[in-house]
Amino acid sequence: MNISSLQEARYAYVPKLPGMLRNGISEICVKEGAATGSVADQEKIKALFPMTYGKPEVTFEKGQNTAAAKKQVIGVILSGGQAPGGHNVICGLYDALKASDKNNVLLGFKGGPSGLIEDDFIEFDDAYINAYRNTGGFDIIGSGRTKLETEEQFQVVTEVAKKHGLNAIVIIGGDDSNTNAAVLAEYMAAHGTGVQVIGCPKTIDGDLKNDDIEASFGFDTATKTYSELIGNIERDANSAKKYWHFVKVMGRSASHVALECALKTQPNICLIGEEIAAKEMSLSQIAGYIADSVEKRAADGNNFGVAIIPEGIVEFVPEFGRLIREINDLLAGENTEKFNALPDWTAKCEFIRNGLTENSFKVFEVLPFAIQQQLFLERDPHGNVQVSLIESEKLFSEMVKAELAKRKAAGTYKGKFSAQHHFFGYEGRCAFPSNFDADYCYALGYNAFMLIQYGYTGYLSKISNISKPADQWIAGGMPITKMMNMERRNGKDKPVIRKALVELDGKPFTYFAANRDKWAVETCYVFPGAIQYYGPASVCDITTETLKLEKM
């Protein structure tokens, strides 16, 4: 057995292109809109991107292709964390490029941006591409987290491009990678290299989203996979009726993934980082909020439940953020050695008490013992607390347990509380792309070629109207600079694509907020089941609840 029967079957799947791209390359014409400006800080962004700023939005239509004929040699890289559908972006790009001219060449640079710098590449052919159609993962050429951002790197990339005769580079990545794609595009234009740069919006986190980009690819498949598991756990909880399950889901700082999973599965609790920050909630308030649900359900005889915790939650709790900063300061320099030399935890606690502000020590005091230890004992090579390693699902379940013990003593709570913990992240990043992601990604790649053929650079491949069936999708491109603003990063003002957080006045959150009180007390679970690639369209072709609500 070398490949699974599903993989074999998925090879035969033909992704659906937007209607306007279905007539062959020779029947795709371009329509330019008005000049664009960045969403904020127009003057600054314009000054930083003199060659690529202010370009028009582009839409493709059915009509005679007017692009100049030339041989295309294109390089492509995958950047950052895996997202289902990345292979299909490359397949769409390859198919368009070969449909245009058999002699066109697509090079895949390996292991992410570093492959472009180290000139580590393969040339794609039909056999190679066919083994990756409609599959998950980034294993086709690998990925990596090297950032492509310095002048020196750009010089090397220029040399590599010259060596291979590259006339374009396609960067498949998240907001940071596409910010860097815009900077590279500007560099290439300013230096007259003739190399175009086109980005494609990737990330399961869902935070690369704005007026132009309706969704990043991978978000649909990843949230469907996590929701499958959360639904299964809800059904288990409702069958066994004895556990509260605390489920942490991946998604970096923004809570889009958690929110989408909650909309799909209707758990008893789902924390949203952006709300917690806006309301400046404390850890104890959050624990109290969860404990309220536990208590009310227990009063109905239901000593079970499901709570979704977004990966980045602790960063959104103001008092916790301050505590982390104080700990990092406290243990800077030679203090670390002093601290480590203390004989036992009691002595260490005394050191901590003296070193923190009173408020932060209070926060520290209410943390579970294991988390207290983790904050001081497991630190990165720079001596900093490793926030991403904090098991927030256990943090909250322990704090809820402590709160319930108090309520039991006070006589207001009479139930039983037993917790199970889960973290879903790697489970969803490399799933076979859903039909939606398979179609969307293939279209993004196909469309990226059209942008290249028509000579554009510094653009993001843009497929819109994606809450509708694929034949109604609109293909085109938008200057990346249009999505940018200036932000403070590592002490410097930088032009970046604005990261999309959950909007508390947006429809997805509003819908959730209107229903969650009922979900917290009653058992309203929904069981989405495994992603289906075949069967009724209602089961296998529908994308996210988030997008559905946003487009309502």
Q: Smallest gap, in angstroms, from Cβ of residue 171 to a second copy?
A: 17
6 contributes a contact to a second copy by CB under 8 A: yes
Decide if 205 is catalytic: yes
Size of the site for a second copy (CB under 8 A): 62
Catalytic residue chosen out of the listed positions 205, 212, 220, 437: 205
The answer to whether 375 contacts a second copy (rule: CB under 8 A) is no
Structure tokens at 53: 């700023």
Among 201, 428, 445, 508, binds a second copy (CB under 8 A): 428
Q: Which long-range contacts (CB under 8 A, 24 or more apart) does 37-40 make?
A: 37/482, 38/481, 38/482, 38/483, 38/484, 38/485, 39/210, 39/211, 39/482, 39/483, 39/484, 39/485, 39/498, 40/485, 40/486, 40/498
427 binds a second copy (CB under 8 A): yes
CB of 306 to a second copy, least distance (A): 10
Residue 174: CB minimum distance to a second copy, A: 15
Tell me the CA distances in angstroms from 507 to 47, 222, 272, 307, one per residue in order.
Answer: 36, 21, 14, 21
Residue 512 interacts with a second copy (CB under 8 A)?
no
Question: Are 86 and 138 in contact, with CB atoms under 8 Å apart?
Answer: yes
When binding is defined by CB under 8 A, the residue of 232, 253, 464, 465 that contacts a second copy is: 232
Closest CB to a second copy among 238 and 384? Answer: 238
Site for a second copy in 302-361 (CB under 8 A): 344
Q: Among 122, 330, 504, 542, which residue sits at the site for a second copy (rule: CB under 8 A)?
A: 542
84: helix, coil or strand?
coil
- Nearest Cα residue to 138 out of 430, 424, 357, 522: 430
Sheet holding 105-109, edge to edge: 28-35, 56-62, 474-479, 459-464, 196-201, 168-173, 73-78, 105-109, 121-123
406 binding a second copy? (CB under 8 A): no
Cβ-contact 376, 327 below 8 angstroms = yes
List the interface residues with a second copy, window 55-114 (CB under 8 A).
Answer: 81-82, 111
Closest distance of CB 106 from a second copy, Å? 19
Candidates 266, 293, 392, 435; binder of a second copy (CB under 8 A) is 266
Q: What DSSP designation does 471 have?
A: G
Provide Rg for the chain, Cα atoms. 25
Letters for 471-510 (x = contact with a second copy by CB under 8 A, - = none) are ----------------------------------------
Integer Cα distance of 169 and 74 in angstroms: 6
Alpha-carbon distances, residue 525 vs 231, 300, 349, 405 (angstroms): 7, 16, 43, 27
Q: Which of 69, 240, 341, 552 binds a second copy (CB under 8 A)?
A: 240
Contact between 245 and a second copy by CB under 8 A: the answer reads yes
Integer Cα distance of 81 and 68 in angstroms: 36
If binding is defined by CB under 8 A, does position 40 make contact with a second copy? Answer: no
Binding mask 137-176 for a second copy (x = CB under 8 A): xxx--xx---------------------------------
Using CA atoms, how far apart are residues 508 and 548, in angstroms rounded to an integer?
9
Contact set with a second copy (CB under 8 A): 1-10, 81-82, 111, 135-139, 142-143, 225, 228-229, 231-233, 235-236, 238-241, 243, 245, 264, 266, 344, 420, 422, 426-432, 524, 526-536, 538-540, 542
| Catalytic positions | 205
